[in-house]
Structure 1
Amino acid sequence: MDFQQLNSDFGIAKQLEIIPGQGGMPMIKIGNASARALISLYGGQVLSFRPVAQTEDVLFLSSQSAYAEGKAIRGGIPVCWPWFGPDPKGLQRPNHGFVRNHFWQLAKTEAVGDTETKVSLRFTESFKRENTWRQPFMLLLDISIGPSLQLQLTTYNTGDQPFSITQAFHSYFRVGDIKRVKILGLEDCDYFDKLEQGTQKIQKGVVSVTQEVDRVYVEAYKNLVIADPVLQRRIHINSPNTSTAVVWNPWSKTSKKMPDLAATDYRRFICVEAGNVAFDLIKVQPGSRFSLQANYSLLPD
């Protein structure tokens, strides 16, 4: 990886630098008047986002993450595409698709004054095609680092046949104490409990987490809030082009089986994921596109 050339092509003085990160992985380091951030070209993954007024990162990143090709980085915001969860066709393809386990290309960078930095990453079927995914496509991930963190993943069907996808931003949010966190905005929504063979239930009141949780909420609202009294902040999640949301925390027993999580890490994060999941299947016609969007910001406590 030629970091000098990357910085010559895409670096922005006093705002954006491409650096060798953990495991020598190329990473985009951003610092502007609004926030600090770190983005991995491997996986097209935002690893860190911290507004300048905050002492704690908005995102959780495991200290035991693997930084090696073929393995996903545990934390930040992995991109799940073209399927979310297990391989829908049972062909032993990786969970959550393949783009989080490969390098993306840096396509464009831009400074909007000194308060916002934009990055565009590209993943094309000619760049890396899995043997079991043969439909021509291109992905463009637009990331904005400013007062809020904004993501837009656009799927382009560049072939002559339609294809269907599920997808998600698998966002890990740092919290002070998982037992004291509340998730607002899912009240009265139906959800499928993946820990009980997909049993359909109704959310009564706000979501709190006191044990392992793995739920897919359907007809979810476009605006959700993670209320964190320990870190004295509220994380606002806006996702206009989705009708599903996922809430996940592995808790203690499952965490112990995960080599890239410390035994007590489950106490310090919650995954609240914006996506098109389960029955929210997106069909992309030839020559057309579809965008998944999410905006993450902090509200006054």
Structure 2
Amino acid sequence: MNLAQQLQHLYSEFGHIEGIHIELHKELIAVAVNNSAAKALIFLQGGQVAEYQAHGHSKTLWLSSSNRYQQGQPLRGGIPISWPWFGQLAQNPKAITAQFDAAAQPPAHGFARNNLWQLDSITPVSSSQTQLKLSYELAAEQQALWPYASRLELTITVGEQLELNLVVTNTGSKPFSYSSALHSYYAVGDISRCQVSGLEEQRYIDKLDNEQVKTQQGLLSISSETDRIYQHSRLQQKELPTIRLIDKEQQQQTLIHSSGSHSTVVWNPWRNKAQHLNNFADDDYQQMLCIETANVGEDIVTLAPRQSRQLQLAIKPQPLSAT
């Protein structure tokens, strides 16, 4: 279907639901959600939550004003889905890179974020909670870079908190391994006035210092380019700690709770790298921080045929005075 046909189909299927609007942003279709608790914007390309704001709070997610909204081109900001590899493919563990042709030229962060997802349902759970279900399915050999039958299902719940549940299922006859991330970009008033709690005493891989393994001492503050993979202990923790993004400029904090992973990525490009990024203004680094719920580094996932794995994220904004 062309864009006009897709829009017509979506209007006929979901246009009657209160608080739901189907929008066209240049070449990309999005679903706008507005209920009594919050509003959000979800693009069908990549199944990507681009905006989320609980009523009475500042915007929780950062979205670049430099995006061009072109088909096949990922959006910068919101919560892109990285799958079936994270970052550059060559930098992933051998269990993942061995599945691919060494001569391939794969895009960064996989291909799920660049392709169109199916909108399966929209359900008003209550006046303050709206749930969307999307899916992305691949037959074996359908994707040149991924010779494995698989299905991704994403449930997005918009309410007083934003909840994402990503389920990956091996629908084929042979096992595969992958890395993934809910690559969340959080909006902040001033990066120099932010701190992150919940990572204290956690070991991390410093991607900017020859991948040395270090330990986080105290709260995390960002004052230069930052690219870290926090690898949480499987033995000592049954679930990840709640991470708190403290924004003193906006007097707001964001509580971030994850499950289904044992790794968290923290990233900010800072001044010099920001000048070389696509869909990113030179000073955008001052208003964003990525804190990503992930399966990366040593925390990769291997699925046997018919096996599934969930990756869950819940984001809740609060006034800083609620601490």
TM range (shorter): over 0.9
2:237 is matched with none
Q: Tell me if 1:294 matches 2:313.
A: yes
Q: Secondary structure at the match of 1:195?
A: coil
1:32 aligns with 2:51: no
CA contact (8 A) 1:217 1:245 kept: yes
The equivalent of 1:8 in structure 2 is 12
For the 8 Å contact 1:12–1:111, the answer to whether it is kept is no
Identity of aligned residues (%): 35
Q: Tell me the CA shift for residue 92 of structure 1.
A: 2.3
Partners of 2:203 and 2:87 lie apart in 1 by: 19
**Residues 158-197 of structure 1 aligned to structure 2 (within 5 Å):** 158-197=171-210
User: Deviation per CA, 1:83-109, whole angstroms, max 9, x where unpaired?
Assistant: 111114353211111010111111111
Residue 102 of structure 1, aligned match among 112, 115, 121: 115
Partner of 1:68: 70
Kindly state the Cα deviation for residue 45 of structure 1 after the two structures are TM-superposed.
Answer: 0.5
Q: Deviations over 1:112-164 (max 9, x none)?
A: 12111110111010499320201000100110001100001100110011111
Name the residue aligned to 2:222. 209
Residue in 2 that maps onto 1:50:
53
Pair 1:271 & 2:273 matched: no
Q: Which residue of 2 aligns with 1:258?
A: 277
* Structure 1 CA distance for aligned equivalents of residues 141 and 269 of structure 2: 31
1:19 aligns with 2:11: no
Is the partner of 1:9 in helix, strand or coil? helix
TM-score normalised according to structure 2 size: 0.89
Moved over 2 A (4+): 10-14, 88-92, 126-130
Could you report, residue by residue, the CA deviation over 1:188-209 in whole angstroms, capped at 9, with x for unpaired residues? 1100010112111111111100
Cα distance between partner residues in 1 of 2:299 and 2:16: 39
CA distance in 2, matches of 1:262, 1:209: 19
> Letter of the aligned partner of 1:191 in structure 2?
Y
Post-superposition offset of 1:12:
4.5
- Structure 1 residues 60 and 155, CA, compared in 2 at 3 Å: closer, same or farther? same
Cα distance in 1 for residues equivalent to 2:105 and 2:197: 36
- Once residues 44 and 189 of structure 1 are traced to their aligned partners in structure 2, the CA distance between those partners, rounded to angstroms, is 31
Tell me how far 1:5 sits from its aligned partner.
2.1
Number of residues paired by the alignment?
Answer: 299
For 2:179 and 2:16, locate their aligned partners in 1 and report how far apart those are by CA, in whole Å: 34
Q: Over the residues paired in the alignment, what is the CA RMSD in angstroms?
A: 1.5
Residues 127 and 297 from structure 1, CA distance in 2 versus in 1: closer, same or farther, beyond 3 angstroms? farther
- Specify the SS of the correspondent of 2:9: helix
Give how far 1:69 is off. Answer: 2.3
Q: Which residue of 252, 261, 282 maps to 1:242?
A: 261
TM-score between the two structures when normalised by the length of structure 1: 0.96
Q: 1:12 to 1:151 in 2, by over 3 A?
A: farther
Query: How many angstroms apart in 2 are the aligned matches of 1:151 and 1:27?
Result: 17
Distance 1:12 1:115 in 2: 17
The separation in 1 between residues aligned to 2:55 and 2:318, in whole angstroms, is 14
For residues 230 and 46 of structure 1, the distance between their equivalents in structure 2, rounded to whole angstroms, comes to: 24
Inter-partner Cα distance in structure 2 for 1:86 and 1:296 = 27
Quick one: which amino acid aligns to residue 221 of structure 2? S
Q: Secondary structure at the match of 1:278?
A: coil
C-alpha contact 2:141 2:147 (8 A) present in aligned 1: no
Please say which of residues 2-11 and 256-265 is displaced more in the overlay: 2-11
